[in-house]
A and B are shown apart, each in its own frame.
Chain A
């Protein structure tokens, strides 16, 4: 990185393809000013589209959300905003449904992330062996990633159906199978977690696999000289080396579970899906936001929910950071 940017056309070391015309000094000064401007401005021009689009459709709406959250705005009259102060926030904070949604989001987040990442770790370990047709296996376990939320939710809706569902039929051979999955709090959350796990395990597996392959082999050699078994190598070499990657996947999965929308919306479908079940038993924060804004037509509280989500995200980020720092300290 310490290189100095080479000056263009310096030393005249190599003639450019077009033969250089003799230049007047004034012209030369003009050109060099142009070049300097080019050098100064180009990087900004290259990154400008990203920041412009992000500013217009990301940052500005994010801040504007906070402003809307302080107003009464109805779906029936989008152009009328009436100042209500913190009323929307106190409305949602006093709403038991909001806390149900927070709990559900958290529960589904945990019961989908933890098994998912553990399975991914195990699978990555398997894929890290010398395998026949290794690309085939990798592609197969990644296939669910190509399936959309909507398709996945719809097919799993049939699997988890109470009446004539695939899962209940399979369970009936074990003397169970009377479960009305979408009706119960835990069962519906599990059903949603299963969809998430199905779609994302393969993706995380590949990320772990890549990280495993980047672990320097001399570490393993040293370990095996010390007489460490495969399991000990996995625990004492692989896992510590993967720690940053694992933290990264946890962060990504956490953000992902904050966004759960299609799965709960379509698991039961219809009106029940749009409010996360008749007793909101599987309502997530995104559904709550959608229901408030788009079904009930009150955009003010919906915006307040968005900001509450932002606060939750920041909280999670802080916790993650603390854990990461603690982990680094103990490792050192």
Chain B
């Protein structure tokens, strides 16, 4: 008995020590990890890392702006976390705002979400009205990010004036005019003309190619030209009656019916793959879309793409984003300075020049970089000229808190018509059901 006891005693001590040691180490490590050592406090030399979380293509890296900022402020390094799909980005962002943890110093916000954040989460953001001069922006853009009390939670980055991106080489092979003025002339009558052009294309389409990526892109193009889209001015959801939604939906259904689309959910991996393989002839193209196309289509199609004016006479804006500074960030002041710099005319112009994301800062429109901008990837399309005219006359759209997700729900159902042969009526009912669930 006694022997057992001493042996056991030694073992016991070892076990207890091991357990205690493990727990202590673990708790200690937990303590350390809370302060998030890699992006947290400034080191001895005052060097800090600012994180920027965004989605899609903001174009800062492509324009070399983060590197330039580091040159200007040697103690600051900027790190970018990009999520491909905004629909994936936003729910996580919202969650982080709730918990106040995991937020980057600067967070991007898409226009479809800004209203919800202004309404419900304004407290979680730094008031940028104190940092940037909001008068610089296109008027409606600044208003979108302002609360009733005048607090501004986001500084506008870009807006999305519409155009048509198309493949010159495919158009030629299909016996269509490839010149951008001629293409614009063909669709001058509006989106119905765009569909007609599609039918012409389809008659002699090169094997394995499709006129458009997805009818949902066209749908969004159509809706974007309305000032009242999903919500009325007094904040009621009106998507069921909205004329723009109806027109867009019917055109989309028609495009599906005539088999003019490849039926790819935009921004999804198959969509990216299709661009890389070059099976898409046209994309309804807000300015920022050009950046996506050149990224995913890659060098193989450089110079084969081109950009023509949007169908019809009405100016339209689809998308566009803001940069915000969450109040719980680690370097609120430095982040505000970074946002101010990134959204200043010169930098917006640089991004525009690099990837075609169009400035929302009016000051940029006067710069030669914008006025005379040509996108090399798109056969030197004079995008400055194409977009700038349009940007000046875009109507101020009424925003609603759930714009983004309503738009996504409708796009999903358009994809279902394309991919799964869902009948338009059923798809619309499904969309209504999904949206009512969203609005809750």
Contact = CB atoms under 8 A, between A and B. Distances in A.
Contacts of B95: 75, 294
Contacts of B84: 270
A298 B98 contact: no
A183 B438 CA distance: 24
Contacts of A298: 437, 440
Contact of A279 (B94, B420, B438): B420
A297 B94 contact: yes
Contacts of A163: 270, 273
Nearest to A275: B412
Nearest to A14: B1
Interface in A36-81: 72, 74-78
A270, A297, A298 pick with most chain B CB within 10 angstroms: A297
B3 interface: no
Interface string B255-271: 00000000001001110
Interface stretch (B85-93, B230-238, B311-319, B346-354): B85-93
A97 B438 CA distance: 13
B416 interface: yes
Contacts of A139: none
Contacts of A96: 433
Contact of A78 (B98, B268, B408, B430): B98
A215 B45 CA distance: 71
B70 interface: no
Contacts of B268: 270-272
A182 to B, nearest CB: 11
B120 A77 contact: yes
B136 interface: no
Given A76-B120, A163-B270, A278-B412, A271 B87 contact: yes
Contact of B85 (A78, A91, A271, A294): A271
A297 B88 contact: no
Contact of A75 (B88, B94, B422, B437): B94
Contact of A72 (B269, B415, B419, B440): B440
Contacts of A95: 433, 437
A120 interface: no
A295 interface: yes
A296 interface: yes
B88, B91, B121, B419 pick with most chain A CB within 10 angstroms: B91
| A interface, over-half SS | mixed
A274 interface: yes
Interface string B112-137: 00001001110000000000000000
Contacts of A76: 94, 116, 119-121
Nearest to B1: A14
A97 B429 CA distance: 13
Interface string B42-85: 00000000000000000000000000000000000000000011
Contacts of B433: 95-97
Bin chain A's interface residue count.
20 to 34
B61 to A, nearest CB: 22
A82 B87 CA distance: 27
B178 interface: no
| B interface, over-half SS | helix
A226 B174 CA distance: 82
B197 interface: no
Contacts, number: 62
A272 B266 CA distance: 12
B188 interface: no
Nearest to B418: A278
Interface in B208-243: none
B301 to A, nearest CB: 19
A78, A91, A96, A296 pick with most chain B CB within 10 angstroms: A296
Contact of A278 (B94, B116, B416): B416
B405 interface: yes
Contacts of B265: 271-272, 278
Nearest to A180: B419
Interface in A277-332: 278-279, 292, 294-298, 301
Interface in A73-106: 74-78, 91, 95-97
A91 B438 CA distance: 12
B91 A295 contact: yes
A95 B432 CA distance: 12
Interface in A230-285: 269-272, 274, 278-279
B91 A278 contact: no
B422 A279 contact: yes
B91 A294 contact: yes
B32 to A, nearest CB: 24
A278 B419 CA distance: 10
Interface in B303-339: none
Nearest to A162: B270
B86 to A, nearest CB: 9
Nearest to B97: A76
B425 to A, nearest CB: 15
Interface string B400-440: 00000100100010011001101000000010010001101
Contacts of B430: 279
Contacts of B415: 278
Contacts of A75: 91, 94-95, 98
Interface of A: 72, 74-78, 91, 95-97, 163, 183, 269-272, 274, 278-279, 292, 294-298, 301
11 contacts: A74-B440, A75-B95, A75-B98, A76-B120, A95-B437, A96-B433, A97-B437, A163-B270, A278-B416, A278-B420, A296-B440
Given A271-B265, A296-B440, A298-B437, 6 more contacts: A75-B94, A97-B437, A163-B273, A271-B85, A296-B438, A301-B440
